[in-house]
Amino acid sequence: MDYTRIEKLREKLKSMRPLNPTELKRLREEFMVENTYDSNAIEGNTLTLRETAMIIKEGITIAEKPVREHLDAIGHKDAFEHMVYLADKNEPLTERAIKELHSLVLMADALNKGAYRRIPVTILGAAHTPPQPYLVPVQMEALIADYGGMKKNTHIIEAVAEFHLRFEGIHPFIDGNGRTGRIILNLELIKAGLLPINIKFRDKNKYYDSFDSYYADGRAPDRLAELISAYETDELLKHISILEQKI
């Protein structure tokens, strides 16, 4: 794939006068709410965008919605904020960092948060069966080791796409893999000087198709890389437009 446009947009954004802390905080909060809604909706959470915002920003309880869905929203918000903290410190991606993020995503499950699964699982309708539980630590260690090479040998978007596809294929946790994986994806994009992306609920089928393509067609991450690239381009253009209006 050709990432020339993204690189040009990244350089243009980098050269522009940045937002002040208050403006940046406002944009990040708006993005975080939308990202929490879409990421949870992909996993079956029924909260609307408005309800998600009310829970996260105002602490309001939605009477007709389950407590678990409220905790999903709060947990994702906390994981997103921790991800930004890790990105700002340029922390390396480690198993410890991944487990920390998962602990926040799965805050409602004290027994399983931050712990690799101990039972075999299947992903209904998927073209791939996750490894047996005893292989999870081994494959996670290998994935993180391989990721260093991916970043050296390919564009960061291809590297994060392949990492994400392999991470979800390992399915290291009993629950919360998708949400945690998408948080990790954004952690790595921000560390690389790009913007976080929000995979929309409306693109759920395209997103899932990228997994089928990867595991059925020779493990090429192209489909997911294309999806990430499109979202990244949109985010860069949006931020550049905002900064140009301030001039």
Question: Count of CB atoms within 10 A of residue 141's CB?
Answer: 11
Token pair belonging to 173: 């946790």
Is 102 part of the annotated catalytic residue set?
Answer: no
**Among candidates 132, 199, 128, which has minimal Cα distance to 168?**
128
Residues 6+ away with beta carbon under 8 Å from 139 = 131, 170, 172
Token pair belonging to 175: 């629950």
Chain CA centroid to CA 223, Å:
16
Residue of 76, 102, 171, 239 marked catalytic: 171
Q: How far apart are CA 88 and CA 240, in angstroms?
A: 21
Q: How far apart are CA 130 and CA 117, in angstroms?
A: 11
Catalytic residue annotation: 171
